[in-house]
Every structure is written in C-alpha cells, then in structure tokens.
C-alpha cells in the first residue's frame, strides 16, 4: 500500500474545512490536517510536513499571498506546492498568487473530483 499523501487545508470557514477533510479522506489516499488560522501555518508545516497545501486567499491575520511569501522564505515550506482556493475569481488575485509561486488557483465551490485532480497535478509537479 502506498503511503498517504499529506494535505494541509487552511481556511477560516469551519464548514469548508470539515467538508474538504471528509471528501479527501474518503478516497483513502490522503491524510488531511486542517487549520482555521493562517497564523499557525509555518509551525504546522514543520510538524506535519505536508505534500500539498490548500490555502484560502482571504483570511483574517494573513491572506494566501502573505502565507505563500512566508513559506517561500522558510527552509521547510519553500518546496511545498500550494494551491490557492478562493470564493473570489478575480484576475488580479490570481496574478498575485502566481507571482508568489502557487501552482494552481481554484474558485470555490470546487467539487471533490476537481480538488483531487488539482492535488494530483500539484503532487506530480513536486516530484519532477
């Protein structure tokens, strides 16, 4: 059996965290950790060592772009593929996200199949 891939989901909406965790763990391919605050991301990256991070664009404290910048400057976090997930589908947000190195940008609500496809794409990029 292959080892489960670790996914860190960061979003300030508890319902989204719960549904996303259930959907991803249902496949049996992923171990999911959820965080409702962007303040703890770097700390959790060091303890959980995720393979992919799903990150909300707009959150209290630090938004997705700020978190990406923090991770880019972190020895452990720098190589982890990040997918931004946002309720807003604005081109300027997408540009900001891609400029700081995210591998993908998903508009909410995204179905389970789309999330899994994007995660698998991000995982394939990581191993190149």
Residue-number span of the structural domain to which 88 is assigned: 5-126
pLDDT at 93: 87
For the chain, what is the mean pLDDT? Answer: 91
Give the global pTM: 0.93
86-128 pLDDT, tens digit per residue, is 988 788 888 999 999 999 999 888 889 999 999 999 999 865 5
CATH of the domain at 101: 3.40.50.2300
d(CA 46, CA 17): 20
71-96 pLDDT, tens digit per residue, is 999 989 998 999 999 988 788 888 99
Number of domains in the chain: 1
């Amino acid at each position: 059996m292959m080892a489960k891939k670790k996914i860190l989901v960061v979003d300030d909406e508890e319902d989204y965290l719960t549904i996303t965790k259930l959907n991803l763990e249902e496949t049996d391919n992923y171990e999911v950790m959820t965080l409702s605050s962007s303040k703890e991301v770097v700390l959790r990256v060091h303890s959980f060592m995720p393979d992919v991070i799903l990150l909300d664009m707009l959150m209290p404290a630090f938004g997705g772009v700020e978190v990406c910048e923090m991770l880019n400057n972190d020895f452990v976090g720098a190589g982890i593929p990040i997918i931004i997930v946002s309720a807003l589908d604005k081109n300027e947000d997408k540009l900001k996200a891609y400029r700081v190195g995210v591998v993908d940008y998903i508009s909410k609500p995204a179905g389970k199949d789309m999330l899994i496809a994007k995660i698998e794409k991000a995982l394939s990029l990581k191993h190149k």
